[in-house]
Structure 1
Amino acid sequence: MPIGASGRRDYTPRDVDSTLTIFQRAVFEVASRDYTPAQLEAWADGMDRTTWAAMLERQSTWIAMANDTPAGFASLTDKGHLDMLFVRPDYQRCGVASTLLAMAEQTAQQRGIKRITTEASVTALPFFKARGFDVVTAQAMKRRGQVLRNFWMEKALEGY
């Protein structure tokens, strides 16, 4: 079920719980094929709701809607870093992530940003490669005693 342009909206404070749930479900249910249970726990368990809300409110954040259900979300910093892009497991491969990425890229271009960056998980790497992102470097991030592999990626935006 593709998400059309009318299926996106800006984040509001009432979205804190749904975005946190989407994040945790995506990590535990989708990324589980690439990370150990201990790594998943270190990545997504015990996230402080207040810290989470403050982080999303500081960024440009969008919610993709499927009917009245939040299907995914993305957040972009003022410097063009795609900080988060997560989709509910039951809406994977339905165009949700592509729609949200297009929104982030459009916003970055409107701000005069020439390159968009992200830190892609092992799971998300093929998605970003398929959409024109290049790996700058592989990273090993330490979080709560676990090492999580991911990739610093960037993409030159059209028109620059």
Structure 2
Amino acid sequence: MSRIFHEAIWQIDDGLYTPEQKSAWSPKPRSAYHWHKRLTRSRAWLVVDEAIIEASRPICCGFINVETHFKSRGYIDSLYVRPDYQHLGIAHRLYLALEQWSLGQEYPNLTVDASLLSKHLFLTHGFTVQHRSYQEKSGQVFMGFLMSKTLKGLTTS
């Protein structure tokens, strides 16, 4: 997951996020400990390419996770796809799995701080922009969009 996260960020076009912003966002791949802590209070889905074996293991192509505890319940924390697997519908499939599970959990809504890159995907899936959001990382400011989608009333069929 760490490698996917890092590589996906560095693949983003410099017109959306500058090299300085990408360096602040992910200066290097994060530790397994970081990801363990980050995923402790969430549910995650992975897409795996079993046709390609790397070190006797299938390659993880992408992942998504949603927070499951406290006030952040239903907050989509991460959605990243390896650069060589982008534009193949993986992010779409990951999101649909997350939404289906969330419906089964009777979550009333989903929220996400979408990046400039992911905004379109979430709009396609019925999210609406609540407002622009800004985050600061290592002195760099990132503009994004706080988005939400009401699940109440959707069916799980």
Give TM-score, length-normalised by structure 2: 0.84
Q: Which letter maps to 2:61?
A: A
Q: Which gives a bigger RCO, structure 1 or 2 (Cα 8 Å, sep 6+)?
A: 1
Q: Conserved in 2, the CA contact under 8 Å of 1:31 and 1:123? A: no
Matched, 1:150 2:144: yes
In the TM superposition, 1:112-151 aligns within 5 A as 112-151=106-145
Q: 1:94 pairs with 88, 103, 113, which one?
A: 88
Q: What is the Cα deviation at residue 57 of structure 1?
A: 3.1
Q: What is the Cα deviation at residue 158 of structure 1?
A: 5.8
Q: Which letter maps to 2:64?
A: A
Q: 1:103 pairs with 94, 97, 100, which one?
A: 97
Residue aligning to 1:15: none
In the TM superposition, 1:1-160 aligns within 5 A as 19-46=1-28, 48-49=30-31, 50-67=33-50, 68-78=58-68, 79-157=73-151, 159-160=153-154
Count of residue pairs brought into register by the alignment: 142
User: Higher helix share goes to which structure?
Assistant: 1
Q: What is the Cα deviation at residue 59 of structure 1?
A: 1.1
Unaligned runs of 5+ in 2: 51-57
**Structure 1, 43-52 or 78-87: larger mean CA deviation:** 43-52
Unaligned runs of 5+ in 1: 1-18
Runs of 4+ in 1 over 6 A off after TM superposition: none
Q: What is the Cα deviation at residue 159 of structure 1?
A: 2.3
Give TM-score, length-normalised by structure 1: 0.83
Identity %: 31
Q: What is the Cα deviation at residue 93 of structure 1?
A: 1.4
